[in-house]
Amino acid sequence: MFLMIYAILINLIGLYVMNADKKRAQRNEWRIKEQTLWTIAIIGGALGATIGMNLYRHKTKHASFRFGLPALVVVHLALLLIYM
């Protein structure tokens, strides 16, 4: 149960952070570091970040995000299946 709640929350955070960074980029404001985006994705928010990347068209030109985030989603799903 805890694992599912964690997965939902961290993915909502990943989605939110992609949206927030996109808005900041459009307004030429202080940006969220790519390291922060990757940290959120690595600790479980890859699905939310991937959805946010595609939904908000943010970081889609970066090959590391375009291919790395979906690859992390596969890894996270595999880990969820193993531990459930």
Residue 56 pLDDT > 90 = yes
Give the per-residue SS3 of 28-84.
CCCCCCHHHHHHHHHHHHHHHHHHHHHHCCCCCCCHHHHHHHHHHHHHHHHHHHHHC
The domain spans of the chain are 2-83
How much is the average pLDDT of 46-52? 97
pTM recorded for the entire structure: 0.91
Quick one: pLDDT band at residue 1, thresholds 50, 70, 90? Answer: confident
